[in-house]
Chains A and B, each alone.
Chain A
Amino acid sequence: MHDNDMDTKSTRRVEIVCFTVEEQDFCIEISHVLEIRGWTSTTTLPHAPEFVVGMMNLRGTVLPVVDLSLRLGFGKTEPGERHVIIIAQIDEKVVGFLVDGVSDIITVDEAEMQVAPDVSSARTQAFLRGVHSVDDKLVRAIDVREVLPQAARPDA
């Protein structure tokens, strides 16, 4: 919270959760993250987009799990023990993001976020807000609302 006290117009320091999908680094703001869980089996949904893996039970709450790899234009994930589900709250909805693994929680300066370089597919591009340079890595910031299934978005 001290970070906020030192805010000026040019800096907005935020904590981000970094994770990997297909060996690439991505992140979302920690304010969205409710918890991080190991893989649990989900129930397949009929008539659902393929990137919606299924519904999971989080202590009585039923929520959809999105395969971020497939959603971002990489291959379909064959989930197993080593995979991780990031439970995120986006507006009123709670959603799980299936990722390969969570690597770090770091603080970055939002103002220094850059436009994503044109290295990934157009689809990936559409789901990114930008990139942070962390050490010598590029960490892509996911637009959490964009990656949700359209109809499940709060404003849909």
Chain B
Amino acid sequence: MRGDDAMTSNRGTPLVEMRDISIAFGGIKAVDHVSVDLYPGEVVGLLGHNGAGKSTLIKCLSGAYHADSGEILINGQKVNISNPRDARALNIETIYQTLALADNLDAASNLFLGRELVTPLGFVDDSQMEAETRKIMGRLNPNFRKFKEPVSALSGGQRQSVAIARAVYFNAKILIMDEPTAALGPHETQMVSELIQELKRQGLGIFLIEHDIHNVMKLCDRAVVMKNGQRVGTVNVNEVTDDDILGMIIMGKKPPQAV
């Protein structure tokens, strides 16, 4: 996909640039001066132990947290993201590890939560939303049938596909996926990876938080490794081995190729 040049290359303006982000909770530095960037059509993996600060860093982009310092640039423009609404307005969509679904509502209500389609009189248009949901689910997961049930009645894979549909439906430019395959079986994992490839072809930029090193090698272009809130380094995935990355994660050891 990419040329053989260095990773912070001359590929134009990055889609996302997070510069020198820091955030602390009660004296504990969850993220400590970390910078990452993301280009269109690229998948950047975020790796590290539990508590390394990956999710926290990414929540500054999705609007769930507000960074104490540092800046975020989208398409080279400095932006201020102080809540999830701001992030959505910038076409940043997030699939949380917890999926963030309201279990008591059906798939359509979840897909459009916070962005309901309304009739001219201002009432929520459930039929229209269900029709749209059927359309997108037909693309993502053609076997999905449970449109009337609350999502608590769905299987893990079905719930995941609702969460993915929500992110994809609204023309995301930047997609954040927090362990999208953690709760899935092999078949469903395969479908998620195919979807990631497809979205990549469409030119989306994807941040992928992932523990499974094989998925990282398979899906990601670059990998950013974090440890104790700090960035260990960033590598081009095709220039390093599994062991190099594991070394970064476990020992914080930076291979020579990394920046």
State yes or no: do A and B come from one complex: no
Query: Which B residues contact A (CB, under 8 angstroms)?
Result: none
Q: Which residues of A contact B (CB under 8 A)?
A: none
